[in-house]
Each structure stands twice: as structure tokens, then as C-alpha cells.
Amino acid sequence: MELGGWERAHGYAANDHLLEKYGDRVPVRENEWDNRHFWRVSNAEQLHLSDDVGMINLSHFAIYDVTGPDHEALLEWVSAAKIGGEGNIGKGIYTHFLDDEGMVRADLTIFRMKDRARVIDGADAGPRDFTYLKRVAEDKGFDVTITDVSEEIVTLGIWGPNARENLKKVVEDPAQLDLENFAFGTLKDIRIAGQDVMAFRISYVGEQGWELHMRYGDALAVWDALAAIGVTPVGVETYANSRRMEKSLRLQNADLLTQYNLIETGLARPKVKEADFRGKEKHVAFKALPHQAATLCTLVMLENTDKDGVKRYPVGIMPVFDPATGETLVDALGRRSYTTSVAFGPTIGANIALAWLPHGYAEKGRKLAVEYFGETYAVEVAGVGYAPLYDPENLKPKS
């Protein structure tokens, strides 16, 4: 699964044995096109992660440091979320950059550190956002230095119901990881296998756990320490597709685009921050509307058998239409409905997709249809806006 020049493991051959346990929940894809983009082991890895623990190589992250007297001011101006203030030091802040029209142009996380901010971005969006920050800083006269450290920092994710228990086995100070000592969304310096690691308590897979950020030369020792206690490597299919979609999490450059505003994505914060930021005026105006023209929704495929009796597992983009009229849905602004992401969710046991729907069709339980290779398949709106289909009980009171 190449992204931005990084080759990422879809799954690991060493985990083939997991199909002995989970194979009955991972369908065989008979159609050649559906199957050529997939490996069944990947879904088995996801199910194992949810039962126990897994680690995911996230070395493809684009990472850049922003330093200098105006680093806080720059990031406050470009971000919809509040970045500044002493209270945010030691936290990772999920935020979006908007354009002048209030549309979403970036989706990323900013680490507030004592002497700098560190931007954690996707491999494909990173170079674009890096250039954007440098141009904004120059245009507005901010005194900052922006340095690409993507090839200096390695990130590993460790997630699952037993993530804390396992990570405690390898850190020098296990008490650091106790729930009362490590709040969700915060950063802590820890040590694993004699190496310095910055741990960020966050999840993109719907399970408790951490991102572990470390120097490139230290990463193999950390990986080996986790592997030695039985933490299973998990491929990026779980992270980038199947599980993040079951959790209703959005992906920049797929679900999040400048054709749609932040409220339509279901990711807008309840309150608009006091500080000025790019696109604020339009953002406030969008929030004041009685409803948005469209909403990003989660669809579940009700039937996936084609005319030849073969079960299909779609990949790519599909138009969404009204089965009563056969017409592709179009919102009040003329934007046509389509699936932005699609994957088989092994926990849900169905094909799921994210799709932009006009306001009048964004209703839970609404029956719609998609077209895949010239055939029509029934779908149902399973969630409107941010609406996880999977949310483990142990996360709800703790995260």
C-alpha cells in the first residue's frame, strides 16, 4: 500500500496462522479485481488486534518542526482548533486548516512542546502542507523556521485492549502509563529498550493505545522489544481502511476535500475559538445555517452479490443514487454524491463506505444504492456525520 513514496505492509506473512482462528470472519474474494487489491491476512490481523494487541509501522508519517518566536502565532492562524496557550503544552491537538472559503484543506495533529511545535501529517499531504506553512509564514511575516524531520523520526502505533498491559512490560517506568497518569491526547517522554520515546495517547483504530515517536536509529530496538513480548505486527490496511472506517474516522485527500466545509465533515468543534484564523468568517457563517447542504455519512452494503452470483467487495469510488429514480444524488450546491472510502469491515461483517449525501438524504436507515462495475447494489445509511459503527465499551468511559 504505497503512499507518498513509502511502501507500507498491507499485512504480514508471519500472521498467516491467524486465519486458522479468524478465517470464518474473513470472506474469500472470488472476483479477481476485488481480490488483487487485498490480502485476507490483513482482516485477521485487525480481529486479533481487537482481541489482544498489535503494533503498526507508521514510518510514512510526514513530520516537521516549527520553531522560532512566532511558531505559536503561525499555527494559531492556520488552525481551526486552539493551538496556543500554556495549557496546550504537552498535548497533541487534532486540527484542520481551512481555506478562505471555510473549506477543509488539511487534517493533521500538532504537538505542542516547550520550545517548538511538531506537525504530524500524512505522507501524501505532508509535502503540500509543509509548503503551505512556509508560504503563509513568508506572506504574513512570521519569524519561524520550518524543518522537515520526516526521515529522522519513526512512529509506531500500539493499540488493543491489552496495549497498556503490554507496553508496561517494556517501559522503564510502568506507572507513567497508568490511566490517571496519562490522559487521552497528551504527550509523555518514556524509555523503551534504553531508547528515548515520545508517547502520544491517541487512537485511529478505535482501540486504546499510543503512537510512539522516536529517532530513526532507535526504532528497531523498540520494535524488537515489543515483538519479544508477543506484540503482533499489523499491516496498514487495518489502520488506513477497515478499522478507521468502522470507527467513522476520516481520511485527508479521500473523505476530506476543499469542496466541503468542516461542519459537513462532522468534525467541527462545538465552539469556535476566540482567536482569528484563516476561513473563520466563512466557518462561522456555515455554523449559523439551519443545516448544511451535505453531510459525510457511513453506508453499509445490504447486498453484495452480482448477477453471476459472486460476492463483491468494492474498491474505489462509486456514485450514490436514489433507487426510486435511478438518478445520482446532487446537493443544493450541485455537488454529486459518491463514496469517498470503501472497505470490508471484519468486525461489522459487511462492506462499509463513507459518502457525501445531500441534506434530505442524510437520514439513518435511509435506503440508497451504489453502482459498481455497471451493477446496482443496495446500501443503507448507518451513520450520519461522525457515527462509529464500532466503539468498544472499554473506550467510552476512559478516552
Domains and CATH numbers, the chain: 62-148 (3.30.70.1400), 262-384 (2.40.30.110)
Q: Which residues contact 172 (CB under 8 A, 6 or more apart)?
A: 190, 191, 192
Query: CA-based angle 103:106:107, to the nearest 5?
Result: 115
pLDDT reported for residue 392: 79
pLDDT reported for residue 320: 98
| Cell representation of residue 99 | 481555506
pLDDT reported for residue 393: 56
Strand order in the sheet with 339-345: 320-321, 367-372, 375-384, 294-301, 350-358, 339-345
pLDDT reported for residue 396: 41
Query: Per residue in 378-398, pLDDT tens?
Result: 999 999 999 999 987 544 433
Query: Per residue in 314-332, pLDDT tens?
Result: 999 999 999 999 999 999 9
Instruction: Report which of residues 206 and 110 the model is more confident about.
Output: 110
Residue 125 CA, chain-centre distance (Å), reads 13
Pairs from 183-191 (Cβ < 8 Å, separation ≥ 24): 184/398, 184/399, 185/91, 185/92, 185/93, 185/94, 186/90, 186/91, 186/92, 187/90, 187/91, 187/92, 187/111, 187/113, 188/90
d(CA 259, CA 330): 13
What residue has cell string 496546550?
88
Q: Is the separation of the CB atoms in 150 and 81 below 8 Å?
A: no
pLDDT reported for residue 394: 43
pLDDT reported for residue 399: 35
d(CA 124, CA 122): 6
Number of residues in the chain: 399
- Does the pLDDT at position 37 exceed 90? no
Section 217-237 average pLDDT: 97
pTM over 0.75: yes
Half-sphere exposure of 266 (CA within 13 A, CB side): 22
- Does the pLDDT at position 43 exceed 50? yes
What residue has cell string 496557550?
85
pLDDT reported for residue 391: 84
Query: Per residue in 159-210, pLDDT tens?
Result: 999 999 999 999 999 999 999 999 999 999 999 999 999 999 999 998 999 9
Q: Widest CA span of the chain, in angstroms?
A: 65
Q: Which residues contact 290 (CB under 8 A, 6 or more apart)?
A: none
DSSP code of residue 239: I
- Does the pLDDT at position 217 exceed 70? yes
Section 6-20 average pLDDT: 96
d(CA 51, CA 249): 20
Residue 196 CA, chain-centre distance (Å), reads 26
Query: Per residue in 60-85, pLDDT tens?
Result: 999 999 999 999 999 999 999 999 99
pLDDT reported for residue 27: 96
Residue in 269, 257, 274, 277 with CA at minimum distance from that of residue 100: 277
Section 243-252 average pLDDT: 94
